[in-house]
């Protein structure tokens, strides 16, 4: 029996973690074994890489940044996610390779196909069964972050145009793969987003 790998994507401040927790609680109450992860930082090595890529003072070249995210991803999938899915568990994860295509591809303006290929190499082609995209206007995301944060990390600190490109990048990915993606407006209420996610996951569970 193989499990499921479900990822949540979206801009900063779109509510991914809240929805991941609600989904995990609901699945556990329904009797499933659920593992949570996130990128960057789902493993101990990942936490060290997260610190570098989000908080290092001084520049990181765009290709180096892409490779750090890919290294975190390789380790997370090999040591945590793939083994859990092979045990039949449901893994719910904040962010995956779509974030690299959107942030390093559309945001940093690296070739999106190359960025994706690096992650596919890193993970031996491991793909989610479902990806939930919480779509949010970047100006609203910024306002939400302003209320929640005292300081921005390296990516959050990027200008509005960068985040607009990231949003467009996510929407293009979803349009190209409607089977895998569920796109929901992040401005809907927490409960109605959670209900839409539960409906889709119910279909996935058969």
d(CA 137, CA 135): 7
Which residue has the CB atom at the shortest distance from ligand TMP? Answer: 103
Q: How far is the CB of 87 from ligand TMP (least distance, A)?
A: 24
**43 vs 99, beta carbon nearer ligand TMP:** 99
**62 vs 195, beta carbon nearer ligand TMP:** 62
Q: How far is the CB of 104 from ligand TMP (least distance, A)?
A: 6
List all residues 6 or more positions away from 35 whose beta carbon is below 8 Å from its beta carbon: 80, 81, 84, 89, 90, 91, 92
List all residues 6 or more positions away from 93 whose beta carbon is below 8 Å from its beta carbon: 5, 6, 7, 8, 20, 36, 37, 38, 39, 42, 81, 128
Residues of this chain that bind ligand TMP (CB under 6 A)? 12, 38-40, 54, 69, 94-95, 99-100, 103-104, 155-156
Closest among 203, 6, 181, 199 to 89, alpha carbons compared: 6
**38 vs 75, beta carbon nearer ligand TMP:** 38
**39 vs 89, beta carbon nearer ligand TMP:** 39
Q: How far is the CB of 31 from ligand TMP (least distance, A)?
A: 29
∠104-108-114 over CA atoms, to 5°?
Answer: 50
Q: How far is the CB of 98 from ligand TMP (least distance, A)?
A: 8
């Amino acid at each position: 029996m193989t499990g499921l790998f479900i990822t949540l994507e979206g801009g900063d401040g779109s509510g991914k973690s809240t929805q991941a927790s609600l989904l995990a609680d609901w699945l556990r109450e329904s009797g499933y074994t659920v593992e949570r992860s996130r990128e960057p930082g789902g493993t101990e090595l990942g936490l060290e890489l997260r610190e570098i890529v989000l908080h290092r003072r001084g520049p990181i070249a765009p290709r180096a940044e892409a490779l750090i995210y890919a290294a975190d991803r390789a380790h997370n999938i090999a040591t945590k996610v793939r083994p859990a899915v092979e045990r039949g568990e449901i893994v719910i994860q904040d962010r995956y390779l779509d974030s690299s295509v959107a942030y390093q591809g559309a945001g940093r303006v690296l070739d999106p196909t190359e960025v994706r290929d690096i992650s596919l190499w890193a993970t031996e082609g491991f793909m989610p069964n479902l990806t939930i995209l919480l779509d949010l206007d970047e100006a609203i995301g910024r306002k939400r972050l302003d209320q929640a944060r005292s300081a921005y990390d390296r990516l959050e600190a990027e200008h509005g145009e960068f985040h607009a490109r990231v949003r467009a990048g996510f929407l293009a990915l979803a349009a190209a793969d409607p089977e895998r993606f569920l796109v929901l407006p992040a401005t809907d209420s927490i409960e109605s987003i959670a209900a839409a996610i539960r409906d889709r996951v119910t279909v996935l569970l058969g």
